[in-house]
Structure 1
Amino acid sequence: HKHLVIFDFDNTISEGNTDTVVMDMVTDEAEAAKLWSTEQTRNWTKLVNSFLNHLFENGVTVQEMAAELRKMQLVSGMVELLKFLGENPQKFKVVIMSDANSFYIETLLEEYGLENVVSEIFTNKALLEDNGRVCVIPCHSHDHEECPVNMCKGVLIREFIKRLKNEGEVFSSICYVGDGSNDFCASINLSSDDFVFPRAGFMLDKMIRKSRRTPSMNQVDAEVIVWQSGTEIMEKLKQMIF
């Protein structure tokens, strides 16, 4: 029996938000406030691109951004969890679904020697132009109005599972690990055979708790296991295969 383990990235694998770490490299407070003020009228990907463009125009290089990202810590126990999954490829397939971007995610995975653990990454694509400017392209388009325009994890999961089945890959369960509000759509697309791991005290945890008190909200059918450390998730996954 093989299990599919899907991770969010920011505040799930990384301790903190990779987007805002790079955004904070805009040291001019007035300029940063001006860029942030556009958040209400522009989607997040466009906002990220505004910051990346400002950094480029002010001489900040890709190498400097990568160096700042490499200072980030991973969530407690996450290195051990991911290494355990990487050591058991016959039991687990590991995927990332994140509203960050490929440059940030790949930089941190490489920093911690975890790039070979992950089979596939669904995220916004970062492109490095010839002049050194980084721009981010939305992950996909969809028609689910409740999710960000550039990413619906519910749609991504449904399409991914369908593709895997067509390729002959079937899993005993899907385990989804996340923290944020955009992980709720992913969670409600799982079955009673699956598992959702919301990070304790974060928005996904709060939304699942609220949904249980609110019958009109979409419900999570999967078993819910709240976690604080990656080692707690690892212990549960060990029980599933041993």
Structure 2
Amino acid sequence: MPKNLIVFDFDWSFVDQDTDRWVFEVLSTKLRRALQDRKSNGSQCTPDVVDQTMADLFDAGFKKEQVLDALRILPFHPAMRRAVTALKDRGETDFLCLSNSNEVYIGTILEHHNLTNLFAEVITNPAHWAGDRLHIGRRLPADGPQHTCKVGCLANMCKGDELDAWLAAHGGKDAYEKIVYVGDGGNDFCPLLRMRKGDVACVRKNMELHGRIKEEGEKEGIKVDVKLWDQAWVIDE
């Protein structure tokens, strides 16, 4: 039976928030501002910046369970859950998560919503607890081999390379009749360039990925069919 593959970014794609920012917004306005200031001082919201602010959260006395509770109340639309569980139950679709969040954040949210077995794999940044301190690392360590992406992926991960590697390990692109990518961010642009004519990009309207496709898509030779969405019920539809 022919199968399809749906690749999800996580923040503002699978869920209706940014996991990195959400934890600080729930627990500490002061540290949410610190994260924003660090990002504004030349840093994108990389794992290094999030880890630095997580150290501040620990120093301020916040506990592991408070972080986990914040993740459990992060907005996740019922229509998105309905969409993915219906497709999963039909058995014709594989799911892959490709995210710049981290293992603890994503794992906690999926477990809370009983979706631990949804994704064949979650490709993201590593994270682990040391007592009440959450340590967040990089998918590509700073002291190891680096990717050579030229279209603007973050230093810690090239999503295009990650998608190519996953497909190569699972029968190649031809193993799937159609590949669908659901994303919103600028670093979701690269994997779209690796996809075929007839594949589909479900792009969240008026977010960074939408802008990049309008400004750079034709020049970079994007082949996928682009479908815009703004709310999860549109994805379900």
- Partners of 1:28 and 1:191 lie apart in 2 by 43
Distance 1:35 1:177, change over 3 A: closer
> C-alpha displacement at 1:41, in angstroms?
4.8
Q: Which residue of structure 1 lines up, in the alignment, with residue 157 of structure 2?
A: 151
User: In the alignment, residue 49 of structure 1 is paired with which amino acid?
Assistant: D
Aligned AA (1:197): C
Residues 1:32 and 1:114: Cα distance change in structure 2 (over 3 Å): closer
What amino acid is aligned across from residue 235 of structure 2 in structure 1? I
Q: Partner residue of 2:70?
A: 68
CA contact under 8 A between 2:203 and 2:209: conserved in structure 1? yes
- Alignment of 1:128 with 2:133, yes or no, is no
RMSD over aligned Cα, in angstroms?
2.2
Q: Displacement, 1:103?
A: 0.8
For residues 72 and 104 of structure 1, what CA distance do their matches in structure 2 show? Answer: 10
SS at match of 2:54: helix
The normalised TM-score by structure 2 is 0.87
CA distance 1:171–1:42, shift in 2 (3 Å): same
Please tell me the residue identity of whatever aligns with 2:202.
F
User: Is the CA contact 1:96–1:121 (under 8 Å) kept in the aligned structure 2?
Assistant: yes
- Identity fraction in percent: 25
Aligned 8 A contact 1:82 1:114 in 2: no
Pick from 183, 187, 203 the counterpart of residue 198 of structure 1.
203
Report the CA distance between 1:231 and its aligned residue: 3.7
Q: TM-score, normalised by structure 1?
A: 0.85
How much does 1:211 deviate? 3.0
Unpaired stretches in structure 1, ≥5 consecutive residues? 236-242
1:93-139: CA deviations, max 9, x gaps? 0011010111111111122222221111000011112x332111111
How many residue pairs match? The answer is 228
| Structure 2 residue aligned with 1:175 | 180
Query: How far apart, in 2, do the equivalents of 1:199 and 1:25 lie?
Result: 24
* Native 8 Å contact 2:35 2:50 kept in 1: no
Residue identity opposite 1:160 in structure 2? W
**What is the letter of the counterpart of residue 63 of structure 2?**
T
